[in-house]
Amino acid sequence: MLGWAITFLILGLIAALFGFTGIAGAAIGIAKILFFVFLVIFVVMLLMSFGRGRGPVP
């Protein structure tokens, strides 16, 4: 998901460079949404891994 966010960010920057402001704004908006979704999923998975713990070692 982070890869898609970076892809849309680069697409938005290239579109802005060529003057396509509408496309650039939309692409960067999508990149922001994907980045924050990635961040939330990352934090949830991190907390789940800490809560899981380890069992007794045989």
Supply the pLDDT for residue 2.
81
Q: What is the pTM of this model?
A: 0.73
Region 20-48 average pLDDT: 90
Residue 17 has pLDDT above 60, yes or no: yes
pLDDT band at residue 40 under the 50/70/90 scheme: very high
| Percent of the chain residues topping a pLDDT of 70 | 90
**DSSP secondary structure of 19-48:** T-HHHHHHHHHHHHHHHHHHHHHHHHHHHH
Residue 55 has pLDDT above 70, yes or no: no
